[in-house]
């Protein structure tokens, strides 16, 4: 039954999008974390989406294939008074691009809403199907 | 007698099946709107319905004369109709060809036509009941 499969497809997309939002939240929260448990500055993380087959009729859901660390260079800020400053007086700050993260946040929340819409439509179609012959 | 009722409902039954399958494909497209390199897919509904009603889309199977022969599984198909990739209107940097405007419009259109088919089946059932009860 294809319409039931839509719940799985949209559900997988919603899970993936909320994980992306989760990563965005952690990036934004740590935008100024000069040090972490390993003693190094926080590195921005990004999710990698990949298509995963759902059901037998060719439906395609989404899964988070990996959460990778952003390879862009770390921010170097001159602040000799900072406890984490090196001999030259520079502090390594996270490579979080706040503008990029805000765009990611809006994009993922919009995609999430889209999938909620899809689920609602499928639900009303299924309910309508149940009324056949009544 | 029963086969006549069956025949009368055949058209809308096939149409509903195809609509549901297409709805699933469109949901997959919307779900994968942020997946890199995902290609939006759809079926040609008119030819799919014609093919499903005439039963002409059944493919000739490859004859295997040795256990090592491959089954010759063709690409994904919905009720015998091949699933095709959508033409790209605007190229994107990540190779994704989902155009959310197109997908949402098609999704709403398909949902409406599904409901229409449900109404047709319902009124057909009512007609049969009227004929039976007088």
Residue-by-residue pLDDT tens, chain B, 134 positions? 568 888 888 999 999 999 999 999 999 999 999 999 999 999 999 988 988 888 765 555 566 677 666 655 555 677 777 888 989 888 889 999 999 999 999 999 999 999 999 999 999 999 989 998 98
Q: What is the pLDDT of residues A31-62, one digit of tens each?
A: 999 888 988 899 999 999 999 988 877 789 99
Nearest to A6 among B16, B23, B104 (CB): B23
Q: Is B36 on the interface with A (CB under 8 A)?
A: yes
Chain A residue closest in CA terms to B127: A133
Instruction: Give dist(CA A99, CA A74) in Å, integer.
Output: 16
Residues of A with Cβ-Cβ distance to B31 under 8 angstroms: 9-10, 12-13, 60-62, 115, 118
Q: B110, exposed or middle or buried, with CB in 10 Å at 0-12, 13-18, 19+?
A: buried
Contact B30 A5 (CB under 8 A): no
Q: ipTM of the assembly? A: 0.86
Count Cβ neighbours within 10 Å for each residue of B31-55 and write b for 16 or more, e otherwise.
bbbbbeebbbbbbebeebbebbeee
Domain ranges, residue A21 = 2-130
Tell me the nearest-neighbour CA distance from A61 into chain B, angstroms.
6
Domain residue ranges of chain B, discontinuous segments joined by +: 2-51+76-133
Query: Which of the two residues, A128 and B134, has the higher pLDDT score?
Result: A128
Residue A9's pLDDT band, with cuts at 50, 70 and 90, is: very high
Closest of B48, B56, B55, B39 to residue B21, by C-alpha: B48
pLDDT for A117 beyond 80: yes
Q: Which backbone phi and psi does A74 adopt, to 5 degrees?
A: -70, 155
Residues of chain B with C-beta less than 8 angstroms from the C-beta of A50 = 35
| A105 shares contact with chain B (CB less than 8 Å) | no
Query: CB of A16 within 8 A of CB of A64?
Result: yes
Determine the distance in angstroms separating the CA of B15 from the nearest CA of chain A, rounded to an integer. 13
The neighbouring-strand residues paired with B32 are none
| Contact call for residues A8 and A61 (beta carbons, < 8 A) | yes
Backbone φ and ψ of B24, nearest 5°: -65, -45
Residue A3 has pLDDT above 80, yes or no: yes
Chain B residues touching A118 at Cβ < 8 A: 27, 30-31, 107
B31 to chain A nearest CA, in Å?
Answer: 5
Rounded-to-integer distance, Cα B42 and Cα B85, Å = 6
State the pTM of this model.
Answer: 0.85
- State the maximum Cα–Cα separation within chain A, in Å, rounded to a whole number: 81
Interface test with B, best of A14, A20, A48, A60 (most B CBs within 10 A): A60
* pLDDT tens per residue, range A79-93: 999 998 999 999 999
Minimal Cα–Cα distance from A34 to chain B, Å?
31
* Per-residue confidence (pLDDT) for residue B124, from 0 to 100: 92
A 56-75: CB under 8 A from B: 57-62
Which SS3 state, helix, strand or coil, does residue B77 take?
Answer: strand
Interface list for B 57-96 with A (CB within 8 A) = 76-78, 83
Cα–Cα distance, B57 to B44 (Å, whole number): 13
Choose the closest CB to A118 out of B34, B107, B118: B107
């Amino acid at each position: 039954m294809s319409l039931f499969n839509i719940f799985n497809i949209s559900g997988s997309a919603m899970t993936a999008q909320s994980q992306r939002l989760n990563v965005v939240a952690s990036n934004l929260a740590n935008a100024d974390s000069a040090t972490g448990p390993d003693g190094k500055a926080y590195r921005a993380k990004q999710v990698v989406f990949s298509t995963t087959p759902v059901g037998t009729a060719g439906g395609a859901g989404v899964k988070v294939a990996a959460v990778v660390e952003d390879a862009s260079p770390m921010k170097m800020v001159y602040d000799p008074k900072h406890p984490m400053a090196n001999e030259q007086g520079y502090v390594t700050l996270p490579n979080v691009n706040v503008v990029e993260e805000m765009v990611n946040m809006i994009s993922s929340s919009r995609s999430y809403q889209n999938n909620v819409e899809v689920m609602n439509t499928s639900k009303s179609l299924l309910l309508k199907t149940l009324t056949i012959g009544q | 007698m029963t086969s006549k009722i069956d025949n009368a409902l055949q058209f809308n039954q096939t149409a509903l099946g195809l609509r549901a399958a297409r709805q699933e494909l469109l949901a997959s497209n919307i779900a994968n709107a942020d997946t890199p390199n995902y290609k939006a897919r759809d079926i040609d509904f008119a030819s799919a319905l014609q093919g499903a009603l005439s039963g002409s889309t059944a493919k000739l199977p490859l004859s295997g004369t040795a256990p090592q022969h491959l089954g010759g599984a063709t690409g994904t198909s919905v009720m015998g109709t091949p699933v095709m990739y959508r033409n790209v209107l605007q190229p994107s940097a990540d190779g994704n060809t989902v155009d959310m405007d197109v997908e949402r419009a098609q999704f709403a259109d398909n949902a409406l036509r599904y409901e229409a088919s449900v109404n047709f089946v319902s009124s057909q059932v009512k007609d049969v009941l009227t004929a039976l009860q007088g």
